[in-house]
Amino acid sequence: MQIIAATIAVALLALPLQAGVTGPTVKRAPEGVPAADITFEPISAAHPICPPFGPCPPGMQITTHYLAFGVDFTVFNGHPPTGVFSDPPEKFGGVNAQGNLDLVTPDCGRIVVVGTTNQGLTNFLAISAGAVAGAADILLEVFNPAGALIGSSIADDGADGDGDLIAEVSDPTQQIASFCVSSPTLDTYGHHFVYLNTPVVVPVTLQTFDVE
């Protein structure tokens, strides 16, 4: 007889920040704001605000504030915390080891099933960010549930309505489980919008065993 056991794939997200592109990455021609299912920015949900270049203690950092939009900013696997500062407009930024929102530390988010903290997957993710210099100073990296780099993009995919530059990555295999925004040149930046297609649940893996 055969017993079919269903196991949920577990996302162990240990995400190294690294440049370059691996795996299936598709970039469209630059044409402005992406046509994604979900678009949000800091003002899309109630949240605390930290001063730019100033302290952003745990009680002022953002975590589950944006679950309704399919992203959880709660610290995971040693990544820096995330806070919101006002440029204006308000933007996301990473909090350094000294507890300051320094506009240089990467900010990272985990894709979740909308309205929950359950791991989700999407086939498209983009961000917009403003930097002092230009497109090469912003890097978006996306990762699969195992923490492997799926793809990366500098901010050369157009601009949002405030003139912030857009970086985007598509994955036809729909394995984008998390992302990080950083500046390879350590330029100061502010991460404005997030664009993504509606996350789906992590697929169930079916395993078949022969039993004597």
Q: Is the pLDDT of residue 3 over 70?
A: no
| Domain span including residue 112 | 2-210
Q: How far apart are CA 100 and CA 187, in angstroms?
A: 16
pTM, two decimals, is 0.82
Q: How many domains would you assign to the chain?
A: 1
Whether the link from the prior residue into 184 is cis, omega within 30° of 0, is no
Instruction: Give the least confident one: 1-10, 45-54, 130-139, 197-206.
Output: 1-10
Q: Mean of the pLDDT values across residues 135-154?
A: 93
Torsions phi, psi for 200 (to 5 deg)? -110, 165
Amino acid at 12: L
Closest alpha carbon to 94 in 160, 183, 193, 185: 183
